[in-house]
Structures are given as structure tokens and as C-alpha cells.
Amino acid sequence: MELTKAKELLLTAIRKKIFQYNKEGIQEFTFIRKAISINELDLLSWLYSQKSDLNKFYWNDKIGDLEVAGICIADQYTDRFIDENKLSNSLEYLHKKIISAPDGIRYYGGMNFCKDYSSEKKWQPFGRYNFIAPEFELINMKGKYTLACNFLYSPKQNISSQLAKFNNEFDTIKWNSTRSNNQSIFNRTVRTNYIPDKEKWNNIINNVLNSIKKNTVDKIVVSRVVQIIKKNEIDIQKIIHNLTISNPKTVIFAFQPEKFMTFTGASPELLYSRENDCIKAQAIAGTRIRGKNNKTDCLLGKELLTSQKELSEHKYVLQYVENSLKKLCSNITDKQKQKILKLSTLQHLCSNFEGKLNKQITDNMILSELHPTPATGGCPTERALEMIHKYEPFERGWYSAPIGWLSKDSAKFVVAIRSALINQKSISIYAGSGIVEKSTPDNEWQETEDKINNFLKSLV
């Protein structure tokens, strides 16, 4: 069905349901969801043909075959407008809300890397946590396209005001799509900032290595930022498009809570996925670049598999994920241990796990147990987080934190690495490296350079 015809049918169906709920005297907040199959459509082009000040998100799980573009807010859970101290276990509260929602309702969002620290000003539009059920979403599930509308009926508002709000938002949507015409993203760079610079990085890593030698900590992941200031506005749509083309084994994500503020990336790292009581999790740590030819690539892969430094770094993550799953599951299976995950420009040591969750385990419990793994934090966790906060000259915000979606029967969260925060004319690219006993400042700097360059190549 054509999109323009489908949207008219949706509008009629939603209005009819609102009148029905009003007539029946429904006394609880109740979701209305309607979905219609449509013809194939470029979701990303549709998303960025919308008004620039709309709340937007994009999710393209290239392994799970799920692509979603969402705009406007049907329902939202965030600390941006509510005192966090008044919310106990906000995700548990959200879980209870989802249980009674219609099939198909998903909340998309993420959270801070460290919830105990307030974000820098540039991260404040995202909140310490922010999960949204979109009012309008286009879905591509394994090549089947759907237009869906979610509406939260409120018994506390009169029907006229609810309909007026819905009609107004519906009328703001553009139902055609256009591709970006900009030819280049990185023309006319004004300046580039390195946070920290190489000298300060060396000092940080040496201080961390001294702590490791004193057995204060076993491993710490230290990150840095490359900030590129542009003269002209950055083309977000083209960045996301290029990330999608050049990163086939990843989840492409973009969250725009307000105009001129987008967090986007291409994460290769699954934190966990859940289908009912079945869970999958992943441990990724240890890095080499890809070779220029098959011979060099294989040699680099063998080097990765035999490097004591890389194996040590991976071991901490593997053990942490395995021990965490033992607390959550009645049984777990090692599906794959210390194999190589080959990406477009990098290769990593990767271990995969599957398990069956214990009864009454919620997504909030899973997130609390798994995050942060030593792949982004360190070991032991609390001491590593203290040192990260001490040494990193910025706050991570959503970088290296869980982002994803959750629904009644399933959920999926990835680790927000290989990512960047984009303002109107600036892009801040984040990258980190795991520091263990045999690390050196120069090697770890180069590893972060490789990760940042991977992102930069996706933007050219």
C-alpha cells in the first residue's frame, strides 16, 4: 500500500478508537496501536525529510534484520523532567507499563554510562536515561515494511484536546522522502581538538599502569575524544547513511532528542538480547586492524589470538559476563569463546553466551547486572569507575553505555561504542582502549586512533 493511503487509514482507525475509549469510560492510561503494511520505502530519507526540531531516532540492526525510524513521542520515561530521586527503579516502572501495552509497542532509548555523575551540558538533552515510545514509526522487518502509530489515551484529558494534539502532530508529518544532496561532510574544517592531547594521554596511562602494578585495579578502559569543528552545518542523514553502508556487522543507531543534537554510531558489541526467558550476551575485547590483503589479515588475526596482552584484556570481560549470567540464569551455554569477529576495518576477540533466565528476572535487573562490563569500565568495577571519573577530562554521557529497546516479550541493547555526538557544526568522536599490565601509552593511543579513523572513514 502507498504510504499516503496508509496514513489516512491509520488516522481514521486511531480516531475511532479514541472515541470508543471515551464512550466506554476507560479510566486508565491505555495505549492504542495501529499498524498497516506499506510498500518499500527508504526509512532514513523519510526520517530526515521531517521537521528538524522533532524528536527522532533511527535503529538499524543489520544482524537482526530490524530497521526502525521513529518520530514524535507517544510516551516517555526520562529524568529530564522528573526528579530522579522520586523514581525508584524507573525501568521496573516502565516494565510494568509495557506488560499491559499492545503487542508491537517498543520503548527505544539509552542511559548514561555512569548514572552517579551528572552529565556535561552537551549531554543534558539526552538525560541520564531516556526511553521513548514513538508516536509514528516506519518499520522494515526482514524486508516487510510497516507504518505504525502509537497513541496513549488519557482519561484525565478531554477528548477534544487529545484529538487536537494528535491531529496537529499528524499534520506536521511529511509523507514523502528526499535524499540529502550535500556532496561532502568534512569540507571546511575550522579546527580539531584532541581531548586529552597526546602528552596528557601518556600521563593518564602511566598513572593507570602504576595503579595496576600496585594491584589497586586489574584493568581500566580509558577513552578520549576528537572534536571536529565545521564551518557549515553537518549533514546527519549522510553520516548515518555512510555508517550503514560501511559497517555491515553492526547496529546503526541515532537519537535526536532536540534540534541540532544527535548521538549516532555503529556498534559491533551486543550487551544482551532477550526473547521471553532466553538471553544472548557477548564479550568483546582485544583489537587489531584489518590487513590490506588476506595474508596480512590472517597474520594479524593470529597475532590477536596469541597476544598475551589482548587475551588478558579479553579474559576480564569474558569472566565478568559469564559470572553475571550465572546470577541471572538457570543455565548458560558458551556458544563461542575467543573467536575473531572481523569488521570492516577492525577485528576483535569475541565470545558469545546463551542462557535461560530465572523467573521474575526483568530487563532492569539484567542491565544492572551486566553494565558496565570490563570492556567499557574495568575490573574491579567500582574502583575502575572511580579512576575513569578521576582521569578522563570529560564525562562520557551515553558513550559506551547501553542503548536499545525493550518490549513486552523481548529486548535488545548494544554498547554505544564507535560513536559520536553531533551538534550543528561540531562532531565529537569517542574511542577507548583497555589498559592492562602489558599496555603502553603509544600502543593504546594508536588503538584509539584506529577506532576513530574507522568512524572518520565512514563519513567521507
Whichever domain contains 432, its CATH number is 3.60.120.10
- Please say whether the dihedral angle defined by the alpha carbons of residues 99, 100, 103 and 109, taken in this order, is positive or negative: negative
179 lies in some domain = no
Same domain? 126 vs 204: no
Same domain? 235 vs 370: yes
Same domain? 268 vs 325: yes
Same domain? 116 vs 213: no
Helix (H) or strand (E) holding 302: helix 294-306
Neighbours of 50 (CB within 10 A): 17
pTM: 0.94
Q: Which of 137, 172, 207 is the last residue of a domain?
A: 172
Same domain? 285 vs 322: yes
**Predicted pLDDT of residue 257:** 95
118 lies in some domain = yes
Same domain? 317 vs 363: yes
> Which residues are CB-contacts of 43 (< 8 A; sequence separation ≥ 6)?
58, 67, 68, 69, 138, 140
Same domain? 212 vs 168: no
Same domain? 200 vs 166: no
**Residue 447 carries which side chain, given as an amino acid letter?**
E
Q: Which residues pair with 410 in a beta bridge?
A: 275
The answer to whether the beta carbons of residues 402 and 191 sit under 8 Å apart is no
> Which residues are CB-contacts of 12 (< 8 A; sequence separation ≥ 6)?
none
Cell numbers for 231, please give them.
Answer: 564551518
**Predicted pLDDT of residue 304:** 95
| Number of domains observed in the structure of the chain | 2
185 lies in some domain = no
**Residue 27 carries which side chain, given as an amino acid letter?**
Q
Same domain? 203 vs 325: yes
421 lies in some domain = yes
178 lies in some domain = no
Same domain? 129 vs 249: no
Same domain? 143 vs 231: no
186 lies in some domain = no
What contacts 24+ positions apart, CB below 8 Å, involve 442-447?
A: 444/205, 444/222, 445/198, 445/201, 445/202, 447/287
183 lies in some domain = no
CA distance 256 to 53: 9
- Which has the closest alpha carbon to 387: 269, 212, 213? 212
Neighbours of 335 (CB within 10 A): 13
**Residue 265 is part of which domain span?**
191-457
pLDDT per residue as tens, the chain (460 positions): 888 888 889 888 998 998 898 888 888 888 999 999 999 999 999 999 999 899 999 999 988 789 999 999 999 988 865 554 444 456 777 888 888 888 999 999 999 998 766 668 899 999 889 999 999 999 999 999 999 999 998 888 888 888 888 888 888 888 776 555 545 544 678 899 999 999 999 999 999 999 999 999 999 999 999 999 988 888 899 999 999 999 988 999 999 999 999 999 999 999 999 999 999 999 999 999 999 999 999 999 999 999 999 999 999 999 999 999 999 999 998 777 889 999 999 999 999 999 999 998 999 999 999 999 999 999 999 999 999 999 999 999 999 999 999 999 999 999 999 999 999 999 999 999 999 999 999 999 999 999 999 888 766 6
Q: Which of 122, 143, 172 is the last residue of a domain?
A: 172
**Predicted pLDDT of residue 195:** 97
**Predicted pLDDT of residue 117:** 63
* SS3 state of residue 197: coil
Cell numbers for 38, please give them.
Answer: 506499506
3-state helix, strand, coil split of the chain in percent (to 5) is 35, 35, 30
The answer to whether the beta carbons of residues 112 and 401 sit under 8 Å apart is yes
CA distance 402 to 414: 6
182 lies in some domain = no
Q: Which of 116, 137, 172 is the last residue of a domain?
A: 172
Same domain? 153 vs 283: no
